[in-house]
Each structure stands twice: as C-alpha cells, then as structure tokens.
C-alpha cells in the first residue's frame, strides 16, 4: 500500500473553505476504487493545523491521482488558504 501525509496550517478565517474543499475531494468518485482511505485530522494543541492522510492500493494508482485535478485542487486550496508545512510519501504494510 502507498500513500501520503500532508501537514497544513490554515489561516483561521479560511477554516470553513478548507474543510469544504477537503469534503469535495473526499466525495470525488473518480478515484474511489483505488483510494483505500482518506482522512483529515486536526492537531489538538495547534488549532487550524491539519494532517491529511491518504492510502492507495498501489503506487500506480497513487501516481495517477497525484497528477489529477482533485489533488491539484487541494494543493491549490492549501496554497491560497494557508501553507503546506510538510509532505511525506509513505509505504504502508498491512498486518
């Protein structure tokens, strides 16, 4: 399994727009068969700092998604509404 983790810091007055953009991305059905999990977590001690995690069935599906419009839309939203702190590409093993 492949995936990524992105840490973002969103400006407080842009919180609602960011959450709406994430929901739009999560509801994009064009990738649902290959995307195993997509989640957004807010840090407890750092308001408006989020960890966005996605798990994909294989590297080809992930790379296809990263070149697609949904991912580019989310990165664009992050750049307008806040800042991207860190992006990590990951390999996950099922147990």
Task: Parse the chain into domains and list their residue ranges.
Answer: 2-91
CA 53, 42, 60 angle in degrees (round to 5)?
10
Counting beta carbons within 10 angstroms of the beta carbon of residue 34, is it exposed (0 to 12), middle (13 to 18) or buried (19 or more)?
middle
- Dihedral pair phi/psi, residue 42, rounded to 5°: -100, 135
Residues 30-45: tens digit of each pLDDT: 877 889 999 999 999 9
- Dihedral pair phi/psi, residue 31, rounded to 5°: -115, 0
Residues 4-19: tens digit of each pLDDT: 999 999 999 999 999 9
For the whole model, what pTM was predicted?
Answer: 0.89
Q: Once rounded to an integer, what is the mean pLDDT over residues 60-76? A: 94
Is 3.40.50.460 the CATH number for 2-91?
no
């Amino acid at each position: 399994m492949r995936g990524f983790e992105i840490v973002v810091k969103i400006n407080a007055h842009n919180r609602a727009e960011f959450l709406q953009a994430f929901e739009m991305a999560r509801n994009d059905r064009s990738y649902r068969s290959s995307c195993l999990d997509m989640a957004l977590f807010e840090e407890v001690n750092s308001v408006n700092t989020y960890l966005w995690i996605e798990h994909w069935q294989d590297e080809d599906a992930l790379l296809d998604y990263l070149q697609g419009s949904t991912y580019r839309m989310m990165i664009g939203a992050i750049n307008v509404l806040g800042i991207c702190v860190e992006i990590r590409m990951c390999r996950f093993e099922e147990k």
